[in-house]
Amino acid sequence: MPIFKLRRFLFPFTWSLCHRFDTRYSQLFDRYEPFQWSLFMTTSTGLGVRADGPKEEWVENPETGEKYVKVGDLEFPPRKVWMKTFGCQMNYHDSDRVLAHLSDLNFTQTDDQMDADLILFNTCAIRDLANQKFYSKLGDSKHAKKANSNVKIGIGGCIAQTEGKELIKKYHHLDFAFGTDVIDTINDMVFRAYAGEKRFTVTSWDRSENFSIETKITHGSPQAFVNIIKGCNKYCTYCIVPYTRGKERSRRLDEIVKDVQRLVKYSGIQEVTLLGQNVNSYGKENGESLAELIMELEKIEGLELIRYTTSHPYDVSDELIAVHGKSKKLSRHLHLPVQSGSTEVLKRMHREYSIEHYLGLLEKLRKANPEIVLSTDIIAGFVNETDDEHQQTLDLLDKAQYDFIYSYAYSERPKTRAAKMEDHLTDDKRGERLREIQAHQTKIQEKIREGLIGKTFTVLVEGHGNMGGIKKWKGRSNCNRIVHFRPENDEQDLQWSWVEVEITSATAFSCQGEIKKVWGRRMPADAPRY
């Protein structure tokens, strides 16, 4: 399945990505042959890779007319890349960038690993489950290498950042590992692999003064993720992100505005999700802010909807709350990860806010925009959580009335401060508490969804599927609710259309609706935005 279809199903996971400061500089040129030195040892970009080395150049075979890419002396005929991404939206966004870069090297995407010339993994170090899945897939990739020894295999992302060298030593079928800050140099690494270099690691940090990129998209949808800040300075005790993604650095506001203007004008983008590990910290080092950025983006004609993720409650400013009240294009949904209902647990997590402060934020947000829909992340059974602290999380669910939650049982991540804490809680107890939290929230959601019956939402249609033998389209509302509905006739193609849908029935987890009006792929300026 193409990556852009998958990523929408993933969590707007608060523990996105970050880095470590005892960074090992990459062994970028350790194994270089003299000819490769001459190709790469040019101007440093801050990443330790070429700035003015050989570039991708499209040429045509005069005999066959086939187009291929040349980089220096190496030829890149059409090849296929299979890429598997684990983790948060930031990782999916990074994978999109990787695929966009690889298209300049004549790669197209394939869903079949055995059909691929290049196999890439974008890994996640946050959760144990993603970790286990990655290792199982990594093991499977040995078969592809056995079947075709020309296949190149690389791993990127958070695990590669912290354990790349060890993995390269341990798994002999791996060709290269690359960290989170060098994804924009993927073509250099692929070039090196095809030039014959074996088993290298690139995990250097971008030390340039500004965080400056251009959004790259490989899909044809009107939705785009736009990375506005990278890294995280928060150091929550359970999270490895600050060690895998580094310090916070923001793009300049005017660069982002121009980037989005370009996406709207030339790529048909109508909805952007501003992305970062902690978007609420955006712009601090430059005297800019997320609130300011949203109000500037709002002015772009043709842009319909602005979302942002992921938020940290400590950095939600009054200025931003006010924007939720006045912006016409900002989504009426906010995902505000709380993690626990107990202030004591929040202290052990080093979350830097109390539960009273958090509830105060929800109150202000609902005052600013009474229609706002809220969701959150919860960690069940954090280190030494007592029965009473767990009960406080259940109480919080009642008070907050979240539209949905993402909940996980705490699992220890190596190299985090929480992993060093003495812990008396068992995994069984964690599982029990997780189930209790989920059952409690399900009842709350059932009531909230019941209250939606009869209401109308404008949804952007994202796809269709088969529900009980009936073809149904699926759209996402401004407030981030998914609604399923039947087309008016079997031939009707609603992909990426704006459609008004009335909710006719609902369960705790989904809404079913009926088409009221089809606006088409562009909403008229005066159409109501429900």
Is 190 a binding residue for ligand SF4 by CB under 6 A? The answer is no
Is 241 a binding residue for ligand SF4 by CB under 6 A? The answer is yes
Name every residue whose Cβ is closer than 8 Å to that of residue 439 and which is 6 or more positions away in sequence.
Answer: none
Is 48 a binding residue for ligand SF4 by CB under 6 A? The answer is no
Helix (H) or strand (E) holding 94: helix 89-103
For ligand SF4, give the closer residue by CB, 50 or 351.
351
- Which among 13-21, 177-185, 203-211, 493-501 is the span making contact with ligand SF4, rule CB under 6 A? 13-21
Q: Measured from the CB of residue 402, what is the shortest distance to ligand SF4 in angstroms?
A: 18
Name every residue whose Cβ is closer than 8 Å to that of residue 213 and which is 6 or more positions away in sequence.
Answer: 184, 227, 251
The residue within the footprint of ligand SF4, chosen from 123, 278, 375, 480 (CB under 6 A), is: 278
For ligand SF4, give the closer residue by CB, 18 or 81.
18
Longest dimension (CA), the chain: 77
Give one word for 354, left, alpha or beta, with left for phi > 0 and alpha for psi -120 to 50: beta
Is 232 a binding residue for ligand SF4 by CB under 6 A? The answer is yes
Which residues between 286 and 345 bind ligand SF4 (CB under 6 A)?
312
Is 235 a binding residue for ligand SF4 by CB under 6 A? The answer is yes
Is 519 a binding residue for ligand SF4 by CB under 6 A? The answer is no
Is 18 a binding residue for ligand SF4 by CB under 6 A? The answer is yes
* In contact, 500 and 457? CB cutoff 8 Å: yes
The residue within the footprint of ligand SF4, chosen from 20, 79, 84, 234 (CB under 6 A), is: 234
* In contact, 270 and 301? CB cutoff 8 Å: no
Q: Contact letters (x/-) for ligand SF4, 55-84, by CB under 6 A?
A: ------------------------------
- Which among 23-31, 164-172, 233-241, 283-291 is the span making contact with ligand SF4, rule CB under 6 A? 233-241
Both tokens assigned to 170 = 């341990």
For ligand SF4, give the closer residue by CB, 18 or 177.
18
How many residues touch ligand SF4 (CB under 6 A)? 14
The residue within the footprint of ligand SF4, chosen from 12, 48, 157, 242 (CB under 6 A), is: 242
Q: Residue 140 is which amino acid?
A: D
Beta-bridge partner residues of 201: 177
Is 229 a binding residue for ligand SF4 by CB under 6 A? The answer is no
The residue within the footprint of ligand SF4, chosen from 99, 159, 236, 290 (CB under 6 A), is: 236
The residue within the footprint of ligand SF4, chosen from 49, 239, 372, 444 (CB under 6 A), is: 239
CA distances (Å), 284 to each of 248, 251, 263, 291, in order? 9, 11, 25, 12
Is 416 a binding residue for ligand SF4 by CB under 6 A? The answer is no
Q: Measured from the CB of residue 381, what is the shortest distance to ligand SF4 in angstroms?
A: 17
Measure the CA–CA gap between 290 and 282, rounded to whole angstroms: 6
* In contact, 87 and 9? CB cutoff 8 Å: no
Is 277 a binding residue for ligand SF4 by CB under 6 A? The answer is yes
Name every residue whose Cβ is closer than 8 Å to that of residue 279 and which is 6 or more positions away in sequence.
Answer: 228, 229, 290, 308, 309, 310, 311
Q: Measured from the CB of residue 305, what is the shortest distance to ligand SF4 in angstroms?
A: 24
* In contact, 10 and 273? CB cutoff 8 Å: no
Measure the CA–CA gap between 35 and 49, rounded to whole angstroms: 15
For ligand SF4, give the closer residue by CB, 241 or 378.
241
Burial-class residue 287 by CB neighbours within 10 Å (0-12, 13-18, 19+): exposed
For ligand SF4, give the closer residue by CB, 246 or 513.
246
Measure the CA–CA gap between 240 and 149, rounded to whole angstroms: 35
* In contact, 353 and 311? CB cutoff 8 Å: no
Q: Measured from the CB of residue 238, what is the shortest distance to ligand SF4 in angstroms?
A: 7
The residues of the shown chain that bind ligand SF4, judged by CB under 6 A, are 14-16, 18, 232, 234-236, 239, 241-242, 277-278, 312
